């Protein structure tokens, strides 16, 4: 999974300053991560992602992770820019323990609206709130 994320980061324009990346790992709690203003080079982002450790298995609190993204990662204090759209990609190895809480948390995102919110998991992908406009 970390290789996939690092391949995705390689496609972004981090070195040029056009894209900022924040990331976190989670199970039932957010375990580690970094904010948008932490790294300005693709290789630094990839090195940090590669150092993430796997958390305890058995729980997937996606709603909690999304709340952390909204309240700490997408903040002007941690590098969020009003002039840049926010895109949130959730990659997980399992379904959310509380799909309702996860779906309810999506419309709380500030900023420009996107038409879908995609969660990629080991068992396939699930569109949450497809067709609606949810601020991301």
pLDDT tens column, 37-68: 999 999 999 999 999 987 667 778 888 888 88
Three-state DSSP class for 94? coil
26 or 112: which carries more pLDDT confidence?
26
What's the token pair of residue 54?
Answer: 């796997």
Q: What is the DSSP letter of 84?
A: S
Taking 60 as the threshold, does the pLDDT of residue 114 lie above it? Answer: no
Q: Rounded to whole angstroms, how far apart are CA atoms 91 and 78? A: 22
Taking 90 as the threshold, does the pLDDT of residue 117 lie above it? Answer: no
- In this prediction, residues 126-136 reach a mean pLDDT of 40
Query: What pLDDT, on the 0 to 100 scale, is given for residue 96?
Result: 78
pTM, rounded to two decimals? 0.76
Query: What pLDDT, on the 0 to 100 scale, is given for residue 38?
Result: 96
Q: Rounded to whole angstroms, how far apart are CA atoms 38 and 28? A: 24
Structurally, how many domains does the chain consist of? 1
Query: What pLDDT, on the 0 to 100 scale, is given for residue 132?
Result: 36
Contacts from 36-45 at CB under 8 Å and sequence distance 24+?
Answer: 36/73, 36/74, 36/78, 36/79, 36/80, 37/78, 37/79, 38/79, 39/14, 40/14, 40/15, 41/14, 41/15, 42/9, 42/10, 42/12, 42/14, 42/15, 45/9, 45/14, 45/21
Query: What pLDDT, on the 0 to 100 scale, is given for residue 100?
Result: 78
Domain with 117 in it? 2-135
User: What is the CATH number for 54?
Assistant: 3.40.50.410
């Amino acid at each position: 999974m970390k290789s996939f994320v690092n391949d995705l980061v390689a496609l972004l324009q981090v070195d040029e300053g056009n894209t900022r990346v924040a990331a976190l790992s989670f199970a039932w709690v957010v375990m580690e991560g970094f904010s948008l203003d932490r790294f300005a080079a693709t290789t630094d982002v990839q090195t940090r992602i590669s150092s993430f450790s796997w958390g305890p298995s058995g729980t997937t609190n996606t709603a909690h992770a999304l709340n952390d993204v909204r309240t700490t990662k997408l903040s002007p204090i941690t590098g969020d820019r009003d002039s840049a759209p926010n895109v949130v990609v959730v990659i997980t190895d399992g379904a959310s323990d509380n799909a309702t809480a996860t779906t309810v948390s999506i419309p709380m995102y500030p900023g420009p609206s996107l038409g879908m919110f995609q969660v990629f998991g080991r068992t396939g992908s699930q569109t949450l709130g497809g067709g609606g406009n949810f601020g991301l």
